[in-house]
Structure 1
Amino acid sequence: MAVDRVDEQLAELAARHGVATSYEGADQLEVDVDRAVVVAVLAQLGVDAGTPADVRRELGATRDRRALPGTVVTRAGRPARLPGPAVVRCADGTERAVAGLLPADLPLGWHRLTTADQDVALIVAPDRLPRPAPAWGWMLQLYALRSRESWGMGDFGDLATIAARSRSDLGAGVVLVNPVQAIAPTTPVQRSPYSPASRRFANPLYLRITDTDAFAEADPATRSRVLALRPPGDTELIDHDGVWLAKRAALEALWADRPRAVDVDADPALRDFATFCAIADRHGPDWRTWPEALRHPAGPAVAAARRELAQAVAFHAWLQRLCADQLGAARRAAAGMAVGIVHDLPVGVDPGGADAWALQDVFASRVRVGAPPDAFSQQGQDWNLPPWRPDRLADAGHGPFRDVLRAVLGHADGIRIDHVAGLWRLWWIPPGEPPSRGTYVRYDAEAMLGVLALEAHRAGAVVVGEDLGTVEPAVTTTLHERGMLSSAVLWFQRDYDVAGHPMVPPQQWTESAMASISTHDLPTVAGFLRGEHVRVRASLGMLTRPVEREEADAAAELRGIVDLLAAEGLVGPDPDERELIVALHALLARAPSRLLLTSPQDALGDPRQPNLPGTVDQYPNWRLPLAVRLEEFLAADRVAEAVAALRAARPSPS
């Protein structure tokens, strides 16, 4: 379809607001953005560009001439220029007068900067984070790790078990876990861990009921009633709804047996979240469908509802206390690991969820975040997540982003930023458009990285950025400069400047990375070896090229990998699948990357991909349990065989 190109004046207006009129695609070719898309995205930023006259008016309108942005970020040890005299009010309450230059010895932290006509946030961030210790470990889909103790799906108790056992029995030093942020408390349950209702609170679906103090303190009759609620643990697919209904009934029984005093007003964010949950119980999980008076947390009707639903609000706040306790226990179980537990931070939140309700003033609520077309998602991706508005985030001093990071780092030894390029720019899909018809909107990357570096420093945490897909080179370069790790995935380690894209030997991969063979959005090792990624997408009508061509390309990729394994002396002629799985782990072990990760699915040889991007119900995303129970997995010979080379390459510190 022909593109209606943007004219010079609209391009200037778009540039002022950080909206791209062209971008480099996954094939490294320049792609022009259709004029209608640019106009629609500008409209979501409050900019009217519908006609040439509107564009001229916007360009001619008085612009905000503030000397300082809403958030000023500087790095420790680096003086920064100011437009004039100012006063720095440090976090410890002290004040310093400055005249045109921020001193290099300002302490790390969140401060305020006041001039004659402005008062803005001042963030002093560390210039660089320390390098993490080298380690190998697991990247987990926690829900899939069913054990004899868990109720139908993996839970926080299972996280503690795999951390402790992997450390003691296998010498693992790191565990990366899928996002465990909060869902709405209703059914049907949002299954995707990357579309939480809130990134600031935890998911009670992962609670182990029998590990709570409330269960231990309950009378025998109550405990019997609770245990009778346990759902089956051998379903073919994870039954999120069944598990949540059982756990919620159990938690309500324990609450009724002995209600706990919870001071929700002591934490306004928790109060708002628990209020959302209580109202969602009555009016549904999407605040956009609630009665009009309840659609903003500051409204008087919400305050009245909070009083009316006081017990329900306290109950949901109590669940967060339980989650914090069990996440803390899991982290303690990982004590002694080289790194510990790394939690995954999704790109955004459900547009109808708790954060989108409580923080709606800083979201572009009608926009969906996604990704442009690439080789694996040829029609583009729509993640149905509303993005921050960069202008309002800056005016809020980037506090909302800080609060999200603090919530995750409060129970983590590290954080993985999903789609870390989103700190620089996000693919905005305007209302009514498919994912292929979007464009990039820029953020203040220096501010976003400064907030991330400061909060990670305060928590003593490792930072990993997922920089796969269509990513600007500056993203990876800057991550490394700041002491953060990028991501290296075997399937993508190719020399794209050479015809045929030959595999890059792992010895040439970057040291500053978390390296793996695959990810949850890509074929597993066994799935790739069997061509499952082509077969499944073809069966669902997701291919934009003939299936024969896809199969031929997949076969060529496989030959390239087997050739590399042979060149490295890791396989002989005609290796079988199990030999190839072991060899691929041994190949990964030769990478100099600080962290080497594999998944239980890859170690077991499970061909089923946890998530197939571009699908919802067409494929059992996020519902596939591990092929064996956690106890069997930890004792499996083929698992020990697969990770032997990783153990040797990254031995546990004595």
Structure 2
Amino acid sequence: MTTLDELARAHGIALSYSAPKGRVRVPAATKRRLLASLGIEASKRSEASAVSVDAPVMRTAGTARCFIPDWLEEGRAWGISLQLYELRSSRNWGIGDFADLEAVCRIAGRAGADFIGLNPLHAMFTAEPRKCSPFSPSNRSFLNPLYIAVDAVPGHGSEVVDTDRLARLRATDVVDYAGVAEVKLDILRRLFRRWRNGGGEGGWSASAFDAFCTNEGENLRRHALFEALSARMVAEGHGSGWKGWPAEYRDAGGAAVAEFAAANADDVSFHMWLQWIARLQLDAAQRTAREAGMRIGLYLDFAVGEAPDGSATWSNPHLVIADMSVGAPPDIFAEHGQNWGLAPLSPTGLAAGDFEHYRTLVSAAMRSAGALRIDHVMALWQLFFIPEGGTAADGAYVRYRIDRLVEVLAEESRTHRALVIGEDLGNVPRGFRTIMRNAAILSYRLLYFEQEEGVFRSPGDYARVALACLSTHDLPTLIGWWRGTDVALRQTHGLVDAETSRIHAEARRTERRNLLAAMVAAGTLRAEDASAEADGDYFEAIAVAAHRYVARSSSMLANARLADLVGEERATNLPGTVDSYPNWQLKLDVAVEDLADTSLFRAITAAMAAERPRLP
């Protein structure tokens, strides 16, 4: 091993990684660039002293355990997951909002559900709402103000609103993010001015707002300042992300930014107020969920990273590695690897601050939740870094202090009494799931993937410390999977060629037969209903049986996608596409007010409740 290798390994840089054609060694140039990004000079002197550095090790303290309520230690529960934006209702303003969420909580609570899962609700780029992927947020410490239910804000009622425009925004099949933002922000600004001039009462008072701002501190002020400045930059043609701004505005602590803040103090206060309102409404949704009988309530989502040009990286540049992005190495699904376009947190920056930044992030995510999903939970141990301007072939895994990150995560989980679910799909390092189990982090088990050599895993063999479900937002809905809609869609969008699509379609027909056999064997489907051609009215029996199969599993939690409960065929997200498919924009066909009267919704939720009754 060379001294460069020793230095790289000592600072958490993996020297190789697995690929479809065998192990790939990381090039020397990549090691040197990664070391430089970590603030390590790869000189002969530093290489010679590499052995004095403690490299990250995959182990945790045995006492670091996340919260699991006593009733769940031996019990089971079920819930419903949804994309908040996809909700239709007769009262929202063209996008699902926190009031819609409360309505769904009441409906699901009556049906026996114990939690409602959501997409990440992190702050996005308010000045450029077309940037709508919830997994590419501007700042994970704050919320997306487009989810505010404007008609639930105190003082609303006397504004002149273009009701025809609201009707058009509601009627679209995809969320018109730009239209929604324009209408909502206009009215919210008016409400802010009225509130500021007249104040509010109780939890909406000026003193309550001041307390919120004091508690959130400088992070909130800088985020609000970024939002105000971002709007100005968009108006001037520079874009919403700070990397496209004039140089004097790229430094959050610079004189030009301070001058802007002083001249636009009212606008900065407005964006702080938006965060306060959003948090109050999200807190109210959690209270509603618990009042509806849910023992967990909101099950929120924590994205794996943040946009490289957003509020978080602008506010705290020392905590990220600006010239790297997060992705994945080549695998059987992506032969050239993947670049997710997210800025990685700096391992050295986190350690220098004793991991308090990570504590701040997960605390904010758990504050209004009874459970939290950690997207790509393997990031507790490692992330695949890709140098700016390079490809996945130039990348390498960089490791973090998993012992400290898990310790912080567990402490916050117990403080907030929030379960932790880790999305452990894809390339999971050996020994990592043992770490998860020991830390009481629930695994993520998907029906589509729980099969081996053509045999679907029986419900009784599912992992106990886990959440079981059919699929995720990146995978087809059940009816889409059943009909092979996703297979055809990938070919239509040029993700696979015709021959590959034909092979995938044939494999799906086999999978479908195998699933039918598994459901019959498990007793969730009658043999006479096991028709591989089942469709239309007959498909309801298949859908109920599949959800009953997952609900019957040994796993602590079982989840049903709302899209599956209403028979949605379209995909939420089509990985590998950018503009050719309406990712993160599609609305459900069924309105919130009609959910409880929808036959498929009633049938599946009744089956889930029968398999997992909410015991006192």
- TM normalised by structure 1 equals 0.84
What is residue 160 of structure 1 aligned with on the other side? Answer: 102
Shift in CA distance, 158/528, structure 1 to aligned 2, threshold 3 Å: same
Q: How does 1:491-506 map to 2 (within 5 A)?
A: 491-495=448-452, 500-506=453-459
Aligned to 1:85: none
What is residue 536 of structure 1 aligned with on the other side?
489
Residue 224 of structure 1 is matched in structure 2 by 160
Distance 2:563 2:69 in 1: 31
Question: How many positions carry a matched residue from both structures?
Answer: 581
Question: How many angstroms apart in 1 are the aligned matches of 2:35 and 2:485?
Answer: 41
Alignment of 1:157-236 (within 5 A): 157-168=99-110, 170-215=111-156, 220=158, 223-225=159-161, 230=166, 232-236=169-173
Q: Name the Cα RMSD after superposition.
A: 2.5
1:368 is matched with which residue: 317, 325, 336? 325
- Separation in 2 of the partners of 1:395 and 1:64? 20
Query: Is residue 419–residue 467 contact of structure 1 (8 Å, CA) maintained in 2?
Result: yes
Aligned twin of 1:111 = none
Letter of the 1:323 counterpart: A
Match of residue 401, structure 2, among 444, 468, 475: 444
SS at match of 1:200: strand
Task: Please point out which of 554, 558, 572 is paired with 1:610.
Answer: 572
Aligned residue number for residue 280 of structure 1? 230
Distance 1:556 1:202, change over 3 A: same
Task: Find 1:550's aligned residue among 497, 504, 507.
Answer: 504
Of 507, 511, 528, the match for 2:464: 511
1:267-289 deviations in Å (ceiling 9; x for gaps): 21111111111111111321122
Tell me the residue number matched to 1:482: 439
Say whether 1:140 aligns with 2:82. Answer: yes
* Cα distance change, pair 140–194 in 1 and its aligned pair in 2 (3 A): same
Residue by residue, what CA displacement relative to the aligned partner does 1:320-363 show, whole Å, maximum 9, x if unpaired?
Answer: 11101100110011113121111100001111111111111110
* Residues 338 and 653 in structure 1, CA contact (< 8 A), matched pair in contact too: no
Structure with the bigger percentage of helix: 2
Equivalent position amino acid for 1:540 in 2: H
Instruction: Tell me if structure 2 keeps the 8 A contact 1:378–1:543.
Output: no
> Is residue 548–residue 611 contact of structure 2 (8 Å, CA) maintained in 1?
no
Give the secondary-structure state (helix, strand or coil) at the position aligned to 1:233.
helix
2:103 and 2:21 map into 1 onto residues whose CA distance is: 44
Q: 1:457 to 1:188 in 2, by over 3 A?
A: closer
The residue number in structure 1 matching 2:560 is 598
Aligned match of 1:244: 181
Residues 11 and 236 of structure 1, relative CA distance in 2, 3 Å threshold:
same
Unaligned runs of 5+ in 2: 200-205, 235-239
Distance 1:518 1:66 in 2: 42
Amino acid at match of 2:37: Q
What TM-score comes out, normalization by structure 2 length? 0.89
Structure-to-structure mapping, 1:57-456, within 5 angstroms: 57-60=45-48, 62=49, 129-130=68-69, 132=72, 134-168=76-110, 170-215=111-156, 220=158, 223-225=159-161, 230=166, 232-259=169-196, 263=210, 264=213, 267-284=217-234, 285-335=240-290, 336-435=293-392, 437-456=394-413
Q: Answer yes or no: is the 8 Å Cα contact 1:416–1:465 preserved in 2.
A: yes
Q: Which region of structure 1 is more displaced relative to structure 2, 598-607 or 536-545?
A: 536-545
Per the alignment, do residues 387 and 189 of structure 1 end up closer, same or farther by CA in structure 2, a change over 3 Å counting?
Answer: same
Are the structure 2 counterparts of residues 551 and 126 from structure 1 closer, same or farther at C-alpha, using a change threshold of 3 Å?
closer
Shift of 1:422: 0.5
Task: Write out per-residue CA displacement over residues 28-73 of structure 1, whole angstroms, 9 at most, x where no aligned residue.
Answer: 9534444444444334324455xxxx5x45412x55958999xx99
SS at match of 1:341: strand
Q: Distance in 2 between matches of 1:13 and 1:64?
A: 7
User: Displacement, 1:375?
Assistant: 4.4
d(CA) in 1 for partners of 2:295 and 2:248?
Answer: 51
Q: How far does residue 302 in structure 1 lie from its aligned partner after superposition?
A: 2.3
Tell me, yes or no, if the aligned pair for 2:493 and 2:580 is still in contact at 8 Å.
yes
Task: Between 479-488 and 204-213, report the one with greater CA deviation.
Answer: 479-488
Match 2:478 to one of 501, 509, 525 = 525
Q: Distance in 2 between matches of 1:164 and 1:270?
A: 32
Q: Percent identity?
A: 35
Judge conservation of contact 2:302–2:365 (CA < 8 Å) in 1: yes
Kept in 2, the 8 Å contact 1:334–1:341? The answer is yes
Summarize the Cα distance change of 1:431–1:252 in structure 2 as closer, same or farther, 3 Å threshold.
same
Is the CA contact 1:382–1:614 (under 8 Å) kept in the aligned structure 2?
no
User: Quick check: 2:325–2:387 contact (8 Å CA) kept in 1?
Assistant: yes
8 Å contact kept, 1:128–1:482: no
Q: Judging changes above 3 Å, is the alpha-carbon distance between structure 1 residues 233 and 427 closer, same or farther for their aligned structure 2 residues?
A: same
**CA apart distance, 1:381:** 2.5
Distance 1:271 1:300 in 2: 16
SS of 2:155 mapped into structure 1: helix
Residue 159 to residue 604, structure 1, CA distance change in 2 (3 Å): same
Matched residue type, 2:494: G
* AA aligned opposite 1:516: C
